[in-house]
Amino acid sequence: MERIGRSAFDCCIFLGSINLPSAKIVEGYAFYNCTALTNVELGKELESIEEWAFAYCTSMERITIPLKDGIITDNNIFRGCKKLTHVDLVEGAVLRDTIAALLLEEWKNDMKDKLGAINHILPTARAGGFDVGEKAHEVRRWIRSVLRNIIRYKAQHLSILNEAATTLQHALHQDIVFKNVLPFLELPSYTFEGED
């Protein structure tokens, strides 16, 4: 199922949890007022969650989404979801491994703080009211912040490796560098979704 249609599960008051790994689009009001819904798991294919999709899911505590900018399209997505306090990332295990591989402890600590920040912000973000949609706004800001940091540290990491390779080239005889050292310094090229 790639698209959850508009109002598809509107007011399904007995729906307790969902796991939709192949969903690409969750249309507006798709799970509106599903008051028993506590846990939502969406997969890496997700492209967008539209207006009011999970509004007034008053029991919702946790949602799993991919780390992509533009997924949260409207500030009313989580309106009335006062219990929503945790966002997990589909790429959580990969990100933890990536953070562990960062060169500097300062980078590791900063990324760990960034990844965990949303679960400290959401409990105090307002979920209801006439013109308030803080939870969706905070999730959107958090995703962008994490992506910016990943891109920044990736660039700094590559810069340090290139500097080290250049220093090594100057220090060693050219034949040794090209035949024995440089092949080990070439890293595979990784890209992060949402990276420009």
Give the pTM. 0.80
Within-domain flag for 196: no
CA separation for the pair 56, 190 (Å, rounded): 39
Instruction: Express as a percent the part of the chain with pLDDT over 70.
Output: 83
Length of the chain: 196
Within-domain flag for 194: no
Judged by average pLDDT, the poorest of 11-20, 175-184, 186-195 is 186-195
Domain containing 142: what range? 3-185
Provide the Cα torsion 126, 132, 136, 138; round to 10°.
-60
Within-domain flag for 193: no
CA separation for the pair 66, 43 (Å, rounded): 6
Within-domain flag for 124: yes
pLDDT in tens, 118-173: 999 999 998 876 556 799 999 999 999 999 998 888 888 888 888 877 776 677 65
Q: Is residue 49's pLDDT more than 60?
A: yes
Within-domain flag for 191: no
Within-domain flag for 162: yes
pLDDT in tens, 80-106: 999 999 999 999 888 888 888 777 888
Within-domain flag for 170: yes
The per-residue pLDDT for 6 is: 97
Amino acid making up residue 89: L
Query: Residue 20 pairs with which residues in a beta bridge?
Result: 42
Are residues 41 and 23 in contact, defined by beta-carbon separation less than 8 angstroms? Answer: no
* DSSP string computed for 14-69: T--EEEETT--EE-TTTTTT-TT--EEEE-TT--EE-TTTTTT-TT--EEEE-S-T
Total structural domains in the chain?
A: 1
The average confidence (pLDDT) of the chain is: 86
Amino acid making up residue 29: Y
Within-domain flag for 192: no
